[in-house]
Amino acid sequence: MALMNISLYAAIQRLPLGVAVTLEFLGPCAVALMASRRVKEGLCALLSLGGVALISAGPAGYFDLLGYAAGILAATFFGVYTLFAAKVGKTGTGLDGLALSVAVSAILTGPFALVDIGRVTAPHWGLLALAAVVGVVIPYSVDTLAGRITSARVIGTLFAIDPAMGALVGFLVLGETLAPTALIGVLVVMLAGALLVWSSSGRPLSARNASVGRDFPTAGRGAHR
């Protein structure tokens, strides 16, 4: 969780929010792909890579080497996080394991924050508290609870909305605009991810087995929400 979010923030520093979130979304897609051996899932993966190519190499493309490296790292850690979170979600209420995970992440990242803590003013503390509630407490908790009452297929497919939401929030809040080809690329990645998840995770959560393709959609979300 800690490494996933640090990598995502590093990507956001250099790339539009929608692009960074799209790159991060490749993580759970890769997990679902590894659990499948069917041709159509492979085609979905190629379609997803085509969308990334449109984002980075199309007219007015958005490619920054360090930004992309951070985005791919975020995707990698998001994929690993989904595997661990699926196991944690099966114990207790799910929220207790989630609270412990957030606490451990805070301890691991605390030393980085202590360096600048003296520069944080009262308004900043309010903004940080709001970000903690809106960006961590609500989305992680809702995802965990949703994973207990609905199917992995539904949750995983809904995760495909994330890149579009990232692009929308980037436009409304940060004033970021994406070239038409990049927007098409985001939509292509979303479509490919939704198809990949839908076809590779068809069993309800109550009947989950050890297949990572069926486990990954219960994982929760990154801090960009």
**What distance in Å separates the CA atoms of residue 192 and residue 62, rounded to the nearest whole number?**
20
Q: Are 219 and 82 in contact (CB under 8 A)?
A: yes
**Helix runs in 58-94, H state only:** 65-89
Question: Quick check: 212 pLDDT over 80?
Answer: no
Name which residue leads in pLDDT, 155 or 78.
78
**What distance in Å separates the CA atoms of residue 160 and residue 182, rounded to the nearest whole number?**
16
Q: Where are the domains of the chain?
A: 2-218
Tens of pLDDT, residue by residue over 90-104, are 666 667 878 888 889
Percentage above 70 pLDDT, the chain: 76
Other beta carbons less than 10 A from residue 146's beta carbon: 17
**What distance in Å separates the CA atoms of residue 185 and residue 113, rounded to the nearest whole number?**
35
Tens of pLDDT, residue by residue over 25-39, are 888 777 777 766 677
Tens of pLDDT, residue by residue over 109-135, are 888 888 888 888 888 999 989 988 988
Q: Are 68 and 23 in contact (CB under 8 A)?
A: yes
Question: Quick check: 58 pLDDT over 80?
Answer: no
Which pLDDT does position 7 carry in this prediction?
A: 94
pLDDT average, residue stretch 145-160:
67
Q: Are 1 and 81 in contact (CB under 8 A)?
A: yes
